[in-house]
Structure 1
Amino acid sequence: MNYRTLGKTGFKVSEISLGTWQVGGRWGEPFKEENAETIINAAIDAGVNFIDTADVYSDGLSEAAVAKVVKKRSEEVFIATKCGRQIQPHTPEGYTPEKLVGYVEQSLRNMKLDTIDLIQLHCPPTEVYTRPEIFEAFDRLKEQGKIRNLGVSVELVEEALMAMKYPNVATVQVIFNMFRLKPSEQLFPVAKENNVGLIVRVPLASGLLTGKMSHQTTFNSEDHRAFNRNGEAFDKGETFSGVDFDLGLEAVEELKRLFPGQEPLAAWALRWVLMFPEVSTVIPGASRPDQVASNLQAAALPALTSEQMEGVRAVYDRYLKPAVHQQW
């Protein structure tokens, strides 16, 4: 495993880490604590030292499982969680310093911790980024020793650029993959200039970039890939990166031709993300331990050739750019 610096935090984190949206069970299925602990332990065994969770993942059960495992390990493992998505309706007016402080304190209770390594605003509405009092609240939490660092998880590149104007923002979490190239053009240079760590989520476009899906693939009715394709529940960019499913399948077939051989497309898709030195870590999820091992294969792959990098760009430009580039 290779390690990279996570911006202003100074943390040296595994370049492939673990996201826990679906840990312990597939999307739409009940949370299974034993399965979650097995997955988290497998990741740490393989050198992962950064785990991303959120208070809304399985109503705090994901946070609790992460912390339970980490506290039993001798390795230093950094825990990142998120707050704000509990606000319903999810509007700017619902965001107040008092509510956010309360959510942070609840996360500390969920995890039975005194301090959170990284707390992130969880994709708040754009207007929230114009309110200094929201960001100042986290300075007080840091002074009290309840958090070590503040980050933001964003939907839009514009939101990331707004957030980085606050000096206490140490990290930005953003969707970036072969289907979503805009961040590398507009966000990455500014993050580098401001020493802001970049955490890449949804690197496999909700499974599309595994190369294992087809027109016959079906999803559980409680799976966001079934009910959120048009943004019915939250930003549609979180589901297949906002790409039309059938169009995405066409693009995947083109990508497969760029990477013939034994390794699955998923590993190459993760390796592609790591070709960008501004990226601190990528956080693919897993619902089974073998998926952790599969994700980590990417770290051992050789660098992509210039022809492969150009090929990915060409597929994006041909199939996806007109539909997604300006949306996020």
Structure 2
Amino acid sequence: MKYRRLGKTELKVSVVGVGTWQFGGEWGKSYTQDEVDRILGTAKEMGINLIDTAECYGDHLSESFIGKSIQRERQDWIIATKFGHQFHGHMNRTNHWSPEEVQKQLEDSLRALRTDYIDIYQFHSGSDASFDQDDLWTMLDKQVQAGKIRHLGISIGDNDNLHQTESATKVKADVIQVVYNRLDRKPEEQVFPSCQRQDLGVLARVPLASGLLSGKYRPGVVFQQNDVRNRLQKVELTKKLQMVEEIRRKEVPEGVEMAQWALAWCLKHPAVTCVIPGCKDVEQVMSNAKAADWVSDDHPQAWKA
């Protein structure tokens, strides 16, 4: 595994993390505690130290799985979770952005995670109107001062949301999370340059394009009814998979797994600190972690011992 400095947080994070939306049951599979234990146990063995989750991946369900799994080794992990939504059922959420509601979400997340602090607490894909609340950020800053949050972050919903990115330093956020992958390069235009100017850590979510860059799917694939990818329109899905086939032929070196190539591709950008792919099982964790083998040591954020 390789490690990088997460912007001004100075945290030392593995270049590959673990995304955990799947633990909430919206990716075509329900999980048991034993399965989560094995996934996170393997991740640790592979050198991964960052877990990304959210309060609305299930009703704190993903957080609860994680909390039980790592409670005896909490100090070994960097936990990034999010706030702003409440889970009511499969792909059914409501937004909750008031300072009082968010403070309750924070306390609920701390209980679910079985911890007294969260390393990175992220504004979760909200509108600019929800973001532009001085009272919200004042409350969150007080939680940082109280030691319940180590660092604030912003998970932007739109890949070109420059308003929230540019406001990061103002609201004392140190980390930006954004969708970035070989099929979606929009952040390169404005968001990444802003992150670099502000010395923000960058977590790249959906680095495998919801699995489309894993190399497992071909045009014509049909996802299960309860799989979040079922939301993709057939025409859109077909177009993306055709792009994947072209990328496979022209860009992926012979003998390299496409998923590992796709993760390493994201990590080449000088703004990106860590990719946070989801993983359904132990084998996927191991494959994701091996992407570090294709990552250069001369990246601007490479950790210098």
Find the partner of 2:243 among 216, 227, 251: 251
Q: 2:23, 2:61 within 8 Å by CA — same for their partners in 1? A: no
Find the partner of 1:104 among 82, 103, 106: 106
Q: 1:176, 1:203 within 8 Å by CA — same for their partners in 2? A: yes
User: Normalization by structure 1: what TM-score?
Assistant: 0.82
RMSD: 2.2
Residues 170-319 of structure 1 aligned to structure 2 (within 5 Å): 170-226=174-230, 228-229=231-232, 244-257=236-249, 258-301=251-294
The change in CA–CA distance for 1:111 and 1:75 in structure 2 (over 3 A counts) is closer
Greater CA deviation, 96-105 or 111-120? 111-120
By how many angstroms is 1:120 displaced?
0.7
Q: 2:119, 2:150 within 8 Å by CA — same for their partners in 1? A: yes
The change in CA–CA distance for 1:55 and 1:140 in structure 2 (over 3 A counts) is same
The change in CA–CA distance for 1:121 and 1:262 in structure 2 (over 3 A counts) is same
Classify the secondary structure of the residue corresponding to 1:13: strand
What is the alpha-carbon distance in structure 2 between the residues aligned to residue 282 and residue 120 of structure 1? 16
2:143 paired with 1:141: yes
Structure 2: 5+ residue runs without aligned partners? Answer: 297-305
User: Normalization by structure 2: what TM-score?
Assistant: 0.88
The change in CA–CA distance for 1:144 and 1:165 in structure 2 (over 3 A counts) is closer
Deviations 1:19-72 (A, max 9, x none): 111148671322321111110111011100111111111322211222223232
By how many angstroms is 1:90 displaced?
4.1
Classify the secondary structure of the residue corresponding to 1:142: helix
2:130 paired with 1:128: yes
By how many angstroms is 1:155 displaced?
1.5
Deviations 1:249-299 (A, max 9, x none): 111111111224122211111110110121111101101000011112211
2:10 paired with 1:10: yes
Classify the secondary structure of the residue corresponding to 2:142: helix
By how many angstroms is 1:163 displaced?
3.6
Classify the secondary structure of the residue corresponding to 1:251: helix
Structure 1: 5+ residue runs without aligned partners? Answer: 231-239, 304-328
The change in CA–CA distance for 1:219 and 1:132 in structure 2 (over 3 A counts) is same
What is the alpha-carbon distance in structure 2 between the residues aligned to residue 152 and residue 84 of structure 1? 11
Q: 1:135, 1:166 within 8 Å by CA — same for their partners in 2? A: no
The change in CA–CA distance for 1:178 and 1:271 in structure 2 (over 3 A counts) is same
By how many angstroms is 1:160 displaced?
3.7
2:72 paired with 1:72: yes
By how many angstroms is 1:167 displaced?
4.2
Q: 1:31, 1:58 within 8 Å by CA — same for their partners in 2? A: no
Q: 1:130, 1:162 within 8 Å by CA — same for their partners in 2? A: no
The residue type equivalent to 1:111 in the other structure is L
Query: What percentage of residue pairs aligned between the two structures are identical?
Result: 37
Classify the secondary structure of the residue corresponding to 1:121: strand
The change in CA–CA distance for 1:74 and 1:67 in structure 2 (over 3 A counts) is closer
By how many angstroms is 1:85 displaced?
1.6
What is the alpha-carbon distance in structure 1 between the residues aligned to residue 33 and residue 259 of structure 2? 26
The change in CA–CA distance for 1:162 and 1:128 in structure 2 (over 3 A counts) is farther
Greater CA deviation, 278-287 or 65-74? 65-74
Deviations 1:67-107 (A, max 9, x none): 2232323862111111112188745xx42100000000000
The residue type equivalent to 2:152 in the other structure is L
2:27 corresponds to: 27
Greater CA deviation, 253-262 or 101-110? 253-262
Structure richer in strand, relative to its length:
2
1:60 corresponds to: 60
Classify the secondary structure of the residue corresponding to 2:256: coil
The residue type equivalent to 1:121 in the other structure is F
What is the alpha-carbon distance in structure 2 between the residues aligned to residue 161 and residue 36 of structure 1? 33
What is the alpha-carbon distance in structure 2 between the residues aligned to residue 62 and residue 289 of structure 1? 17
